Amino acid sequence: MCHVFNFQAYITRADALVLFLTPVTVLPIKEKATMNSVSKSGSGKEIGFWRGWSIAVGCAIGSGIFMMPTLLAPYGMLGLAGWLTAGAGTLLVALCLSRLVKRVPKIGGPYAYVQAGLGNFAGFLIAWTYWISCIAAASGIAVAFVGYLGVFLPSITESSILSLLVALALIWSVVGLNIRSIESSGTFQVVTTFLKILPLIFIIVLGFSNMQPEILPPVNPTDLHPVALLATVTTLVMWSFIGIETATVPADNIVEPEKTIPRILIASVLTVLVIYFLVSLAIALIVPADELLGSTAPFALAATKVMGPVGGAIITIGALISTLGSLNANTLTAGQVPLAAAKDHLLPVKFLTLSSTGTPIFSFLVSGGFMSLLLLLNYTKGLVAAFTFMAMLSTLSTLMAYAFSAVSEFYFLKRDQPGPARNRAIVLSVAAFLYSFFAIWGAGVEVVFYSFMLIIIGMPFYALVREDARDL
């Protein structure tokens, strides 16, 4: 998962990485810079299928999967069925986005689709909330990374100041990597994505080679009706698929986006679904459900049962790599979304500032600044719960982008020529919207309320920017 995290999972894991920032040159822009001129200046095609796939998979597979077996343990075998229903819903969203990218093949992903279909105001709402979503997610992942590091270097997590400094250093190292070039960020993403998949495959092989079918839980150990239970677990696991849409955001940098992005989206959903399902089943075949219920590190527990401390260490390192890849993918997205919105005069023109390598340097710097602010809030005593709630808001904001994208496609389809293909697309877009709405509803009333408040906060910014745009 990319945007939602279990804060308990942050406090327990793995290793360090030092990335070096390289000097960049700010390219001056004119106040009346046009969308086309800026697009040309930074439209290198550095991302092919595998880099795009790694962005989507790397963002979706984050720290959340390492806690999911514990969260699903109370629900028996129907908990595993939740992966299938959530995967099917995410596939509906992916198909919707695949069709939209052919209509609107430009940078920004869901923002671009909503702005083109529903207008500037709706586009601003999605750009605003989705940007904040990526920033909050990146901050949380940095915290997770520091927690993993504490397994090998406990002194770091024992000091809140040292933890904060390490997290800040990590944030700005990854920001620097993305400022350096999209190509460097893409290559790094490919490497971390493949590396994070290895420990998951390790668990799958371990589970099926040492399986104990007799310890599998009953289908429904609860008093809930099977349909109600399935709805509950679907809402629970759907968070793990959030992030698939990130492959659509850097469209200007993707080779043949109309062809490549749909392939990336479908392949990413199927990859994540297969891995999640097999991993959860493998752990259920090794660790009894009653032991999983009390575990804060189910992957390490499963590996330790079979291989001892060495197995636990391997999984811990895998969790580190997983968070690092998610951090990079979220940082890349956080830099690209404001750039896309600024091109349409929905954010200040300053966000159009590019480095000498064509990356949106101002956008990355502002995003890094907000990430740092959230980290400061997180390490202020008494605000941990508030920060955890920001992670929930992050996920909800992404779901809003899904729902608005489906509505935007419906708007486009209304203008198309009637026919079987149009009718199928309408059914699929409505289904994608209903799935997104269901997921938003599952987040709870309180989270929805605070998400609404977040939108209200953005209104003055929209008014100011649009007033400036009229003067251009």
- List the Cα angle 432/95/422 in 5-degree steps: 85
Region of 382 please: left (phi>0), alpha (psi -120 to 50) or beta: left
Check if the beta carbon of residue 124 is closer than 8 Å to that of residue 341. Answer: yes
Confidence class of residue 190 from pLDDT cuts 50, 70 and 90? confident
Residue 64, helix vs strand vs coil? helix
Could you tell me what percent of the chain has a pLDDT over 90?
10
pLDDT given at position 357: 81
Q: What is the CATH number of domain 7-15+35-470?
A: 1.20.1740.10
pLDDT given at position 1: 43
Which ranges constitute the DSSP H helices of 415-444?
A: 420-442
Task: Give the Cβ contact number of residue 196 at 10 Å.
Answer: 26
pLDDT surpassing 60 at residue 20? no
pLDDT given at position 217: 80
pLDDT surpassing 60 at residue 360? yes
Confidence class of residue 297 from pLDDT cuts 50, 70 and 90? low
- Distance of alpha carbon 239 from alpha carbon 280, whole angstroms: 15
pLDDT given at position 367: 94
pLDDT surpassing 50 at residue 457? yes
Arithmetic mean of pLDDT, 43-60: 74
Select the more confidently predicted residue: 54 or 335: 335
Spatial CA neighbour of 229 closest among 240, 239, 218: 218
Could you tell me what percent of the chain has a pLDDT over 70?
81
Domain range list for the chain = 7-15+35-470
Confidence class of residue 468 from pLDDT cuts 50, 70 and 90? low
* Span of 138-147, 347-356, 368-377, 428-437 with lowest mean pLDDT: 138-147
pLDDT given at position 396: 76
pLDDT surpassing 70 at residue 271? yes
Select the more confidently predicted residue: 336 or 252: 336
pLDDT given at position 344: 82
pLDDT given at position 170: 93
pLDDT surpassing 70 at residue 416? yes
The rounded mean pLDDT for the chain is: 76
